[in-house]
C-alpha cells in the first residue's frame, strides 16, 4: 500500500488518491456501439452478443416463474433462512424511506403540494461474472417494491465464462423469489442495458435501471442515461478505515482485506493519526493475506490501489476522509459515534469496531448500492426515493389568483423590459395601484407577442419581444391558462 504523509498543515488532495476517474473512452465507445446495435436490431443483436461474449444464449430470455419458485427447493435451508432474515431487515429499513404526497392550504384557499408517484417499472441488473450476488437482488429489488414499482431482474448467467449451458444460479433465483421480483431475464452485459432501455421483441423497456456491473455495464448505463433513468454510474468498490491509536491492527487489516478480495480494481484506504498503527496494520496484512483463498486478487488490490494516509491530528484525518468521500467508511476510534457529525462525505458509515462492513453488504438493512469514486460528495445510497417521482401541485382559488397577479405582472415587466399595466405589458406606467377584486377584474389583455407569432400586431399585444407563454394561436383559440384568466375577468 502506498503511503501519503500529511504534516505541517498539508491537506489531502484528490491528486494524492490517484483515482482512474471517468470510464476509459474505448470502453465507452464499445458499450455505446453495442447499445445502439441492440436498439436497431433488437433480439437478434442481443443473441449475437450473448454468443460472442458468453458463448451461450437461452432459447427464451425470460425465466419461467416455475423455475424461479423452484430455486427455493434447490438451495440449502441455512442459506434460505439467512436470505429471509436479510430480506426482513432490508424491508424494515427501507419502509422508513418511503415518501408520501403532501399538501398545504394558504389562507386564501389556494392549495400547493407534492404528489409522489412510483415509476412504472424498473430493471435490477445483477452481475454474475466472478461471483454470484443474491444480496444485490434483495438490496435493489426491495426498495423498488416498497415504492410500489413493478420490478424486473436482468441477470447474467451464473459463471457464464465457465458454464456453456447458460444456466442461472439457484441462489440468485431464490433471492428473486424471496424479494418478490416480478420477472427475471437471463441476459447480461451492455446488451442487456440496451435491451431494457429501449425494448426488444421479447424484452420490455423500463423507466429506470439500477444495479452494479462491470465497466461495460456502467458505460452502457451512462450511454442510455437521459432516455431512461439510472441510479448511478458505479465504479470499483472501495473502503476507507479511519483509525486512531486504540484500533486493533488485526481487525483493521481484516476489514481492508474483506474489500480487497472483491475485485483487483477495488480501492482500500487507511487514514490514521498514529504512524505506528499504519506499520502494525501492514504487518497484520502480510500475516493474513497468505491465508486468504483469494490471495492473488487481494494482493493486487492492496498493492495497486491501496493508500495509507498518516496525519498529525484526528481532525486532519477526518478532513482527509472527506476528501476521499468513500463508498464505505469504517470508524475504528475511541469516540466513533462522536465523530459522526464531522463526516460529510461517505456512502455508508460503519461506527465502531463491531460494525463490520460485510454485515452491511448482506444483512444489516441499509442499502449496499453506494456511490463510488468520490461521488459521495454529491450522491446517496440507493433507496426508495430513487423509485419515486415528485410532481408539484398548484390549485388556485379566484382570491389566490388575484392576490398573486401583482407578482406575476412585475415578473413580466422584467421579462418584457417595459413598465406594465396591471394586466399586461402595454405601454404606460403603473404606480402600484391595488389589484382589482375578483368581482371586478378587467378583461384579460393579450401579453407581449414576439414578432412573427401573431397574425397582426395590436395595441393590446405589442411586439416587444417578451414571453410568449400566453400567446393565442390564430387557429387554436386561447390556451387553457389564458381561458382561465378570461373567465376570472368575467366574474
Q: Which tens digits make up the pLDDT trace of 151-172? A: 665 554 332 222 344 578 899 9
Query: 124 by DSSP, 3-state: which?
Result: strand
Q: Provide the percentage of residues in the chain whose pLDDT is more than 90.
A: 68
- Residue from 97, 183, 327, 472 carrying the catalytic annotation: 327
Q: Is the pLDDT of residue 373 over 60?
A: yes
Distance CA 21, CA 15 (A): 11
CA angle 408-410-412, nearest 5°? 70
Q: Is the pLDDT of residue 384 over 70?
A: yes
- Domains in the chain, please, with CATH? 2-22+236-364 (3.40.50.1980), 25-98+115-231 (3.40.50.1980), 398-491 (no CATH)
Radius of gyration of the chain (CA): 29
Place of cell 429501449: 198
Q: Is the pLDDT of residue 51 over 90?
A: yes
* pLDDT (average), residues 408-419: 59
Distance CA 236, CA 372 (A): 7
327 labelled catalytic: yes
- Mean pLDDT for the chain overall: 83
Higher-confidence residue of 30 and 437: namely 30
pLDDT at residue 382, rounded to an integer: 97
pLDDT at residue 378, rounded to an integer: 96
Distance CA 220, CA 151 (A): 20
Q: Is the pLDDT of residue 173 over 50?
A: yes
Q: Which of 108-122, 125-139, 419-433 shows the lowest mean pLDDT across its residues?
A: 419-433
Q: Is the pLDDT of residue 117 over 80?
A: yes
Distance CA 270, CA 241 (A): 5
Closest CA to 75 of 165, 177, 163, 153: 177
pLDDT at residue 349, rounded to an integer: 97
pLDDT at residue 409, rounded to an integer: 65
pLDDT at residue 56, rounded to an integer: 87
- pLDDT, one tens digit per residue, over 433-485 is 444 454 444 443 333 333 443 333 333 333 333 333 333 333 334 444 433 33
- What ranges in 375-420 are assigned the alpha helix state H? 398-416
The answer to whether the beta carbons of residues 175 and 134 sit under 8 Å apart is yes
The CA distances from residue 442 to 88, 435, 487, in Å, are 62, 10, 11
pLDDT at residue 195, rounded to an integer: 96
- Residue from 87, 94, 262, 328 carrying the catalytic annotation: 328
DSSP 413: H
* pLDDT (average), residues 193-199: 96
Place of cell 441488473: 125
- What is the pTM (predicted TM-score) of this model? 0.81
pLDDT at residue 467, rounded to an integer: 37
pLDDT at residue 75, rounded to an integer: 95
pLDDT at residue 351, rounded to an integer: 97
Closest CA to 35 of 426, 27, 367, 362: 27
Amino acid at each position: 500500500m502506498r503511503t501519503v504523509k500529511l504534516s505541517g498543515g498539508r491537506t489531502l488532495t484528490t491528486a494524492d488518491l490517484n483515482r482512474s476517474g471517468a470510464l476509459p473512452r474505448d470502453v465507452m465507445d464499445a458499450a455505446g456501439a453495442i447499445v445502439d446495435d441492440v436498439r436497431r436490431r433488437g433480439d437478434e443483436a442481443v443473441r449475437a452478443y450473448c454468443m460472442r461474449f458468453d458463448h451461450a444464449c437461452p432459447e427464451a430470455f425470460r425465466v419461467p416463474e416455475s423455475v424461479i419458485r423452484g430455486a427455493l427447493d434447490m438451495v440449502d435451508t441455512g442459506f434460505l433462512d439467512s436470505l429471509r432474515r436479510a430480506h426482513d431487515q432490508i424491508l424494515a429499513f427501507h419502509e422508513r424511506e418511503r415518501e408520501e404526497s403532501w399538501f398545504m392550504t394558504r389562507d386564501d384557499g389556494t392549495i400547493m403540494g407534492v404528489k409522489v408517484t412510483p415509476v412504472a417499472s424498473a430493471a435490477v441488473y445483477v452481475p454474475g461474472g466472478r461471483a454470484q450476488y443474491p444480496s444485490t437482488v434483495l438490496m435493489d429489488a426491495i426498495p423498488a417494491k416498497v415504492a410500489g414499482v413493478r420490478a424486473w431482474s436482468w441477470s447474467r448467467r451464473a459463471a457464464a465464462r465457465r458454464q456453456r449451458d447458460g444456466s442461472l444460479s439457484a441462489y440468485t433465483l431464490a433471492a428473486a423469489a424471496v424479494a418478490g421480483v416480478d420477472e427475471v431475464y437471463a441476459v447480461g452485459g451492455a446488451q442487456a442495458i440496451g435491451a431494457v432501455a429501449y425494448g426488444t421483441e421479447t424484452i420490455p423497456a423500463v423507466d429506470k435501471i439500477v444495479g452494479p456491473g462491470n465497466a461495460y455495464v456502467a458505460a452502457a448505463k451512462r450511454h442510455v442515461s437521459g432516455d431512461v433513468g439510472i441510479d448511478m454510474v458505479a465504479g470499483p468498490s472501495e473502503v476507507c478505515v479511519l483509525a486512531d491509536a486504540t484500533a486493533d491492527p488485526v481487525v483493521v487489516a481484516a476489514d481492508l482485506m474483506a474489500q480487497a478480495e472483491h475485485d483487483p480494481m477495488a480501492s482500500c484506504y487507511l487514514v490514521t493519526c498514529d504512524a505506528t498503527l499504519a506499520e502494525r496494520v501492514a504487518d497484520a496484512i502480510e500475516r493474513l493475506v497468505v491465508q486468504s483463498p483469494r490471495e492473488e486478487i487481494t494482493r493486487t488490490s492492496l498493492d495497486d490501489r491501496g493508500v495509507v494516509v498518516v496525519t498529525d491530528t484526528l481532525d486532519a484525518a477526518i478532513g482527509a476522509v472527506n476528501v476521499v468521500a468513500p463508498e464505505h467508511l469504517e470508524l475504528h476510534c475511541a469516540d466513533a459515534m462522536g465523530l459522526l457529525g464531522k463526516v460529510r462525505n461517505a456512502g455508508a458509515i460503519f461506527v465502531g469496531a463491531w460494525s463490520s462492513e460485510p454485515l452491511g453488504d448482506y444483512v444489516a438493512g441499509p442499502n449496499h448500492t453506494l456511490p463510488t469514486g468520490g461521488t459521495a460528495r454529491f450522491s446517496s445510497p440507493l433507496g426508495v426515493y430513487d423509485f419515486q417521482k415528485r410532481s408539484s401541485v398548484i390549485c388556485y382559488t379566484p382570491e389566490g389568483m388575484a392576490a398573486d397577479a401583482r407578482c406575476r405582472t412585475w415578473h413580466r415587466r422584467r421579462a418584457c423590459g417595459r413598465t406594465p399595466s396591471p394586466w399586461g405589458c402595454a405601454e404606460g406606467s403603473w404606480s402600484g395601484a391595488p389589484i382589482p377584486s375578483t368581482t371586478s377584474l378587467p378583461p384579460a389583455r393579450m401579453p407581449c407577442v414576439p414578432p412573427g407569432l401573431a397574425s397582426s400586431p395590436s395595441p393590446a399585444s405589442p411586439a416587444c419581444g417578451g414571453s410568449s407563454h400566453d400567446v393565442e394561436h390564430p387557429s387554436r383559440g386561447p390556451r387553457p391558462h389564458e381561458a382561465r384568466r378570461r373567465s376570472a375577468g368575467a366574474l
